[in-house]
Amino acid sequence: MSESTIREIKNALPTPCYVIDEERIIRNLEILHGVEIRTGAKILLAQKAFSCYHLYPLIGEYLSGTACSGLFEARLGYEEMGRENHVFSAAYRESEIDEIISYCGHIIFNSFSQLDRYRERVLSAGKKIGLRINPEYSTQTDHEIYDPCSPSSRLGIRQKNFRYDDIDGVTGLHFHTLCEQNSDDLEATLNAVEEKFGAALKKMEWINFGGGHHITREDYDISRLERCIRRMQDKYGLEVYLEPGEAVALNAGYLVTELLDITENDMLSAIVDTSAACHMPDVLEMPYRPPLLDSGAPGEKAFSYRFGSQTCLAGDSIGIYSFDKPLKIGDRLVFGDMAIYSMVKNNTFNGMPLPEIFLLKRDNSVISLNKFGYEDFRNRL
Ligand SMILES: *Cc1c(COP(=O)(O)O)cnc(C)c1O
């Protein structure tokens, strides 16, 4: 339904712009909340994927809180959602740790040296301590930069470095090893976690399964996820947390762009007023080809174009898409799944403007959440 709305309104929007789809966000939240209700597990929004705080009051109605990666996310989650707030960082700065502790109920450390350094400060503030472990069990090979179990990964404490005699005050374990994965990979990961850290689990009160669970994707096996949660609850008496980012806003945003020119270079190039490098950097980093409304795979439909940006970066190319009819200069095009890892990662490289952010509300009205201009480019330099 909201896709037909975006087709209707796209010509009235200034480009480039992001449009967050409230109806889709709510649909995702209902799925996640269902898991919480049925299992008693607590689900946190990993702000790293989606920090559009204008929606935090809505998200907080369904989820239990926020997960943060450092001081700024900790403050944003505390001020804008105000529910449970958990933080993990590979290392905390001395000058920031007290403020972080003031915002967060759960502080997760990545090493015993960080634990030794800050343990007393967390405990005297009455906050909880967790340790991130590395089960050294890779479940994906597609995206190595997103594999915290890859060789010499700095993320998480390995079994050989885990000091069972030095966990006073530690009440939880945290792992994060998945990326856009289904619950069979979670189940296999839990086997590795139990095998390597089962003795520690017996002494804990809570466990955090991290993120990377694609729970709101159509083919996700939710009942297997719920069995995984119950297994940790029943066997060890643990409170279970999950902190998905993607799953909260999966397929819940668009990036609307205008076609500025068409040139012919071995094939047709469509030059648009958005940029992979600036507005959807994961397209280049992951890499992936984002969905584009009403288009087909390269060559699938009669007219194929390579989509590229206005910038000077030769590789700033979004992908090849095909259409039933030739495109015309001035056409509006709509990329899908643009709520996650887009706004949080965008930049003004090449002096590209930042897209305005709109919210498409459930009643089909559209409101502007934030607008940017020259000053936003200038102020960062
Ligand atoms: C990235 C990250 C998440 C969220 O991951 P998604 O893939 O967006 O679900 C959660 N926890 C930690 C520690 C992370 O690094």
CATH code of the domain in which 365 resides: 2.40.37.10
245 and 272 in a single domain? The answer is no
Query: Which residue has a Cα nearest atom 10 of ligand 1?
Result: 211
Cα separation, 139 vs 148, whole angstroms:
10
Which residue range(s) make up the domain with 6?
2-20+253-338+346-378
Residue 34 within a domain: no
Which residue, 216, 234, 249, sits at the end of a domain? 249
C-beta neighbour count of 73 within 10 angstroms: 23
Q: Taking the alpha carbons of 236, 241, 246, 248 in that order, is the dihedral positive or negative?
A: positive
| Residues 177 and 281 reside in one and the same domain | no
> pTM for this one?
0.97
Do residues 280 and 354 make contact, with C-beta atoms less than 8 angstroms apart?
Answer: no
The answer as to whether 171 is a domain residue is yes
From the centroid of its chain, how far is CA 221? 20
Residue 162: inside a domain, yes or no? yes
Per the structure block, which two tokens stand in for 137? 């069990």
Q: Are residues 210 and 106 in the same domain?
A: yes
pLDDT tens digits in sequence order for the chain, 381 residues long:
688 999 999 999 999 999 999 999 999 999 999 999 999 999 999 999 999 999 999 999 999 999 999 999 999 999 999 999 999 999 999 999 999 999 999 999 999 999 999 999 999 999 999 999 999 999 988 778 889 999 999 999 999 999 999 999 999 999 999 999 999 999 999 999 999 999 999 999 999 999 999 999 999 999 999 999 999 999 999 999 999 999 999 999 999 999 999 999 999 999 999 999 999 999 999 999 999 999 999 999 999 999 999 999 999 999 999 999 999 999 999 999 999 999 999 999 999 999 999 999 999 999 999 999 999 999 999
CA of 263 to the centre of ligand 1 (A): 40
Distance 60 CA to ligand 1 centre (A): 18
83 inside domain: yes
Report the domain count for the chain.
Answer: 2
Q: Could you tell me if 224 and 301 lie in one domain?
A: no
Does 64 share its domain with 203? yes
Nearest ligand 1 atom to alpha carbon 148: 15
Q: Are residues 113 and 225 in the same domain?
A: yes
Task: Out of 219, 249, 279, pick the residue that ends a domain.
Answer: 249
Asked if residue 147 belongs to a domain, the reply is yes
CA nearest ligand 1 atom 7, residue: 212
